[in-house]
Amino acid sequence: MIRTGLKLQITLTLTLLLGTAMVLAGFVMTVFWQRSLIKAEAKRIHDILECVTANAKRAPGEPTALPDILAAPDYRISRLNADCLIFAQNNVTRRIIDTSCAADNQLASLVQSSRKSQENLVRTSGTVSGFPTRRPGRLLVAIPTGDRVPASALGISTPLAPVYGKIREARKALYMYLLLNAIFLVAIGFFRLVTSTVKPVERLVTLAEQYDITDDYPLAAENPGGEFGQLTASLNRMIRKIEQDRHNLRETIASLEATNAELTNTRKEMLRTENLATVGRLSAGLAHEIGNPLGIIQGYLELLNRETLDPASRRDFVKRAQDELGRVNNLIRQLLDFSRTSPRSHEQVSGHDLLKEIITLFRQRRNMHSISFRAEFHAANDTVAGDREGLRQVLVNCLLNAADAIQERGRDFPGEISIATRNETADAGDQLLIIISDNGVGIPPAQLNNIFDPFFTTKEPGRGTGLGLSVSLSIVESVGGTITAGSQPGKGTEISIILPQNQTGHADT
């Protein structure tokens, strides 16, 4: 790119600059040459007039007969190429050549001025077309005729076309000289610029292309004291700084990777800790529900030991005991399903089925007798993409917090937990919105912005770890969703969970 583009630009630039300079120089030279030729022509005419008048004075006759003498054949001044010759004495002017020209009046005025001042006068008259502007058309010259009494003067008008003809004849030679001069200067300038600029740049480009990170001095300057040497030194410093920054960046990336691994492990530990805490709370609530069926089963076993028991009653008691055992087994299975720490994986999960399962689990808790659950599943498509166990933990945490907020209002307070779903469409695609609301004590506005912070809790010591909503936020964000909270103290809290969906749904019937 440098070998062609920069050289071409230098050539074009030099050609443009020198071409412009030569055109201007030619114009200036032509103008001064033209002025010089006009002055020379005026001097030539003046000398001829002086010679003519001197010869006329020496001729026999009266001094006042100078116009007749000048008009004689021997004194014809045709060699001046004059188109107008005027003699003035006192205020009378006489045309010696019997032809009129456009400058008669101007020449007559100039001759009278010369007669009065007894000075040689030169003027130009009229214009003709020229380049780049119009030029004078004719030359007017007036001289006094000496010591005659009364005083007199002689004036002549001659066209300047012959002068311009000489300029036109020499213009081709002038332009050829200027062209050759421009070519010569362009060649010298190009050679010098290529030697002083292009070649050092090309060497820098070549060295940069051959640069290896193991080089102590990546770029070497031929002239360390010149501008390119300073540029090379600056580039070397920049390259070393880049290498140092690259080394620091590698170390930073390695440190960030290690920190990220630690954060991942810490997050997993937080998830396990919160899961175990939730399992413990669920287990405490289900202990009574398991104790009752076990007591009933024990009573049936005592009845079955009676020898007087008839076969029909025995079969009935056995069936009832089996039903109670099935109830206990179902409760234990649900608790085990929740506490199982299976590997996290994305799958298609039915939101409605998962909510129904969790609501059933909560209704079987001992301390839920005063809380009613209201489900309004309006979403036609309830399938979400995420981890089933993780989403289960999020929903359980939200329902546990809702139940705790209601129970803080009193043991027999008629609490209500509402679970509603609906579909929404956003720029990212279809979404499932799950809203869990309660009529509990609510959250103060000053604490609402902190409820998703780790280890932040509004509950009494021993009743919460402060990790539930923080872990829930992490799980929801890991599947591309969002979770927000709104609350009014004394009226309740509302949790909104938005989860991304796929195109195929699972409609609730």
Identify the three-state secondary structure at position 458: coil
DSSP code of residue 82: -
Domain ranges across the chain = 2-181, 345-509
- Distance separating alpha carbons of residues 370 and 158, to the nearest angstrom: 131
Query: In the CATH hierarchy, which top-level class contains the domain 2-181?
Result: alpha beta
pLDDT at 91: 78
pLDDT at 507: 42
Element spanning 88, H or E: strand 84-89
- Does the domain made of 345-509 have the CATH classification 3.30.565.10? yes
Buried-exposed string 458-473: b where 16+ CB fall within 10 A, e elsewhere: beeeeebbbbbbbbbb
Strands 415-426 and 482-488 turn out to be unpaired
- Distance separating alpha carbons of residues 277 and 258, to the nearest angstrom: 28
Cβ count within 10 A of residue 303 = 15
How deeply is 13 buried, as exposed, middle or buried, from its count of CB atoms within 10 A (0-12, 13-18, 19+)? Answer: middle
Length of the chain: 509
DSSP bridge pairs for 158: 139
pLDDT at 153: 85
Residue from 414, 291, 417, 410 nearest 358 by CA = 417
Q: Give pLDDT tens digits along the chain (509 positions).
A: 445 566 777 778 878 887 788 778 777 877 788 888 888 888 888 887 777 777 666 655 544 456 666 665 555 555 567 778 888 887 777 777 656 677 778 888 888 888 888 888 988 888 877 656 678 888 888 888 866 557 788 888 888 888 777 777 777 777 787 788 878 887 887 787 777 777 777 777 776 776 666 655 555 555 555 666 777 777 777 877 888 888 899 999 999 998 888 887 776 776 666 666 666 655 655 555 566 667 767 776 777 777 777 888 778 778 877 877 876 776 676 556 555 544 456 788 899 999 998 888 787 766 677 889 999 999 999 999 888 888 888 888 888 888 888 888 887 788 999 999 999 887 767 899 999 999 998 888 888 877 877 656 666 544 554 556 777 888 888 888 899 999 888 889 999 999 988 644 444 43
pLDDT at 451: 80
- CA 193-196-201 angle, to 5 degrees, is 100
pLDDT at 149: 58
